[in-house]
Chains A and B, each alone.
Chain A
Amino acid sequence: MKNTENKKVYIYDGSYQGLLTALFRSFKQREIPAKIIAKSKFRDDLFYERVEVKTENEKAQFFSSQIKEHISAQALNNIFHAYLSESEKMELYIFRYLFTGFKVGKKVDEFLTKDYVRQVQDLAHKVRHESHRLKGLVRLQEAAGGKYYAAVEPDYKTLALLAPHFKNRFSTMDWIIHDKKREEAVIFSAAEKEWLLIDLENEFEPELSLKEKDVQQLWQAFFSAVSIKNRSNPGTQRQFMPKKYWKHLIESPGSSRKFKIK
């Protein structure tokens, strides 16, 4: 690859397909960009030449299959999950990871002395960890009309990882999981058996069904009753269920201390 004179910044639309298109362009043109950055994060910079990359699904698709074939399925997973972290410089780590990957193949994941390999793996790991956690912590509420709704505010953009899990589990229900932080949602229809990512404003809140509050109260009661008194251990509780997730739980951690069967 040659280093072009005037340094370029690739600007993509923020989607995964967009990132893949940008990466594809770079590898195809044998051109190393100084930065790859989502449009929403880009601030004008005089020193760089701006290249706006238009998302092209076909190219993205093709590039994915190239990664799978010439590096590994695991590598493709890693970069997708690292992308979901939305962390700063994630794009460049991914770029370097792939750069090495296309040279050495699936062994790239053993290059642990390379900073960018570790970074990609660590970011991917963090995203997977949070998504696993959320599989347990997501709390659905029955809305009027029989659809189910859950709000989440995860650190990472995990909806795409949650969707397949909840599709298998709740395939006979219509449901929405709403990422309030990112103002997007995954929406599933039992009739279509398919899920879709949509934009959904932060303020959205459905009207709840008549029985919803009763069920929630039962769950709160159960949660308090199953704690063993005198063995209070808030440390362990918070280690597995950090406070940042409590807002959207129905139960209230700590409530068993007030609980007593009369």
Chain B
Amino acid sequence: MELQKKLEILSDAAKYDVSCSSSGSSGRGDSSSLGNTKAAGICHSWTDDGRCVSLLKILFTNYCIYDCQYCVNRASNDRPRASFTPEEVAQLTVDFYKRNYIEGLFLSSAVCRDPDWTMEQLLKTVQLLRNKYNYQGYIHLKAIPGADFKLIYQAGMLADRMSVNIELPSESSLEKLAPQKKKAGILAPMKGIGAGIENNIIERKKYKVKDKFVPAGQSTQLIVGASPESDRQIISLSEGLYDHFNLKRVYYSAYLPVNNSSLLPTIPGPPLKREHRLYQADWLLRFYGFKADELLTPGRENFDLKIDPKADWALNNLDKFPVEVNTAGYEMLLRVPGIGPRSAAKIVKARKEKRLTHYNLKKMRIVLKRANFFITCDGKYAAAVPFESSVIYDRLAENESQQLSLFGSSSGSNQGWDLEKAK
């Protein structure tokens, strides 16, 4: 098959993958090699649907021996198939990179023949790039579930970022929708990569080892809305992944109905609003010191689609508010809706000089639109509404654009992933 045809098929097949990030610099590259990785993301083009093109995002092959229900490339689906060779991918990457079309390569793959064979192809590709072409641009590589960890490890010594997609928020859903994958084991390689990253950091510090293992970190992706798990289960899972597997990012992908399968829910479109709330909650876990079990509790299984998770938490914990900005600790300030790390830091610094009033906050360019409902300045409460949960809720919801909830609350009887069991 002609190369262009392959490229069309295998980029089309990869485009729904959401983790477009070329974030995270690994500081590769010197004056004797081609390329470098840049900390600030650079977009090289914008697609007709308005998304940034930064990486050559392709599948190595879309021939698949598996039959995951939610996937366009499943074995039982009738569609055009193609496979690259490692040399083709390496050459293509270098050709595109040298012309400044891309920041780097994002190489994923379906499982062709068997997991080891597929992983070997990916490994060969990065070996060619790094060794033959002396290419030091960015590489994000998928680790194939079920492949020998030795192969994954070798690839990790050459890639900047790796990811194993956890795909679904619970083992039982995975069993139902992607039965072959369960056996292959997803958590084991994730855990292995996580441990590899940690060891490598220690070795580099202690023994001045130069070689880097997955220096831009590990990420994963899970599909939201193809299975019945609640938001509570999803963010608990994410928290576990951040805490135990050293993950840099969890990506959430609203399920896009692609197949007719009796095992899948029929929905009018991807639950984008829900996906957005999960990203917000994820942010709170990573940067705001929230725990998953604070954000949602048994009985409160899903995020409110009308207000953001932080405001939702505040309204459910109204006894902790209003917060006096002149005395509250930094951690508590950070929990006020509308106040982020920068504003909280500014407040802590400025109040050393003087007692702060609402006027001072405004002067400091702290946006009070949302925060006002939850703070006092020198004992004064300045929101023009009574301090009542339902009133504040309405005001906050008004601020947010309204969108119909695509999901009712789900049963939530699933067990989720047992992270401890992964070996």
Contact = CB atoms under 8 A, between A and B. Distances in A.
Interface of A: 132, 135-142, 148, 150, 166, 168-173, 193, 215, 217-219, 221-228, 231-237, 240-241, 249-251, 253-257, 261-262
A222 B11 contact: yes
Contacts of B47: 223, 226-228, 237, 256
B44 interface: yes
26 contacts: A136-B44, A140-B100, A168-B36, A169-B100, A170-B35, A172-B31, A193-B31, A218-B7, A218-B96, A221-B4, A222-B96, A223-B47, A225-B15, A226-B11, A226-B47, A226-B53, A227-B48, A233-B48, A234-B48, A234-B50, A240-B46, A250-B99, A250-B101, A251-B45, A253-B48, A254-B48
A150 B32 contact: no
Contacts of A261: 8-9, 12, 80
A261 to B, nearest CB: 6
B101 A228 contact: no
B50 A236 contact: yes
Contacts of A236: 46, 50
Contacts of A171: 30-34
A253 B46 CA distance: 8
Given A169-B35, A226-B15, A141 B49 contact: no
Contacts of B32: 171-172
A111 B298 CA distance: 54
A254 B45 CA distance: 12
B73 to A, nearest CB: 13
Which 10 pairs of residues, A with B, have the shortest CB-CB distance? A236-B50, A233-B50, A231-B49, A227-B48, A227-B47, A256-B48, A136-B44, A225-B11, A237-B46, A171-B31
A219 B99 contact: yes
Contacts of A231: 49-50
A149 to B, nearest CB: 10
A228 to B, nearest CB: 5
Contacts of A255: 48
- Interface residues on chain B, size class: 35 or more
Nearest to B40: A132
Contacts of B52: 240
Interface string B78-116: 001000000000001001101111000000000000000
B50 A235 contact: yes
Given A140-B99, A237-B50, A250-B101, 12 more contacts: A135-B42, A170-B35, A171-B31, A172-B31, A221-B4, A222-B11, A226-B12, A236-B50, A249-B45, A250-B99, A261-B9, A261-B12
A136 B49 contact: no
B99 A148 contact: yes
Residue from B33, B98, B101 whose CB has the most chain A CB atoms within 10 Å: B101
B192 interface: no
A33 to B, nearest CB: 37
